[in-house]
């Protein structure tokens, strides 16, 4: 056991990590390109190569506790053809991509379970569970309004210039705040109830789609 996780779970999270991180960062880069900023493309980040997107500490957090972060895609908001809208949607694109991927993974999983195509408790069963959960956890985690998480940029897109300057002053302390909230369990107290609400919503929509 490592940090309360068995070795099999951690090993299954490696391919999950590669998928969710890659999709998340590619979505940021592609949305930035849509809004006129080609910075990520020029630096080789607008692709599906997971090696380009992994952050060592953030990746380790995902493996050990199920949520974390990737290496931020470089963007230059000055290049956006619509600054506030661009900042908002480029920041939201990553979490949105994980919520969408998590939904379709769960849709496939439920379909396969009902069709008897998945063995309960097998490796594929556990892999799909991890894929669904980590997509949702990563999305919600990144929506917290603490730099450098995506939620901080989304919040900034709604603030006045004066308030943005004030908000930027906490950025130097953000890594310490982030780690403190993670290791004191505050993030979990918020993340898990919100994630459960997302799973309930997924189940409702999937039930309507599959007629369950």
Residues tagged active-site: 25
The terminus-to-terminus CA distance of the chain in angstroms comes to 37
Cβ atoms of 142 and 92 within 8 Å: the answer is: no
Q: CA–CA separation, 198 vs 99, rounded Å?
A: 9
212-to-28, 197, 202 alpha-carbon distances in Å: 35, 19, 13
Q: CA–CA separation, 48 vs 191, rounded Å?
A: 27
Q: CA–CA separation, 139 vs 151, rounded Å?
A: 10
Cβ atoms of 167 and 158 within 8 Å: the answer is: no
């Amino acid at each position: 056991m490592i940090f309360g996780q068995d070795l099999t779970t951690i090993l299954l999270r490696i391919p999950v990590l590669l998928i969710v991180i890659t999709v998340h960062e590619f979505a940021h880069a592609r949305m930035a390109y849509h809004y006129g900023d080609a910075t990520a493309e020029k630096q080789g980040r607008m692709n599906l190569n997971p090696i380009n997107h992994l952050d060592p500490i953030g990746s380790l957090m995902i493996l050990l506790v199920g949520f974390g972060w990737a290496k931020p895609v470089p963007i230059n908001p000055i290049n956006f053809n619509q600054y506030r809208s661009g900042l908002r949607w480029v920041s939201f694109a990553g979490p949105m991509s994980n919520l969408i991927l998590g939904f379709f993974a769960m849709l496939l999983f439920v379909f396969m379970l009902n069709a008897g195509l998945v063995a309960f408790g097998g490796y594929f069963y556990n892999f799909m569970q991890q894929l669904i959960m980590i997509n949702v956890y990563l999305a919600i985690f990144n929506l917290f309004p603490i730099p450098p998480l995506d939620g901080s940029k989304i919040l900034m897109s709604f603030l006045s210039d004066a308030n943005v300057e004030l908000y930027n002053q906490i950025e130097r302390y953000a890594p310490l705040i982030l780690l403190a909230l993670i290791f004191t369990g505050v993030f979990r107290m918020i993340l898990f109830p919100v994630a459960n609400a997302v799973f309930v919503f997924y189940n409702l929509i999937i039930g309507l789609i599959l007629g369950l």
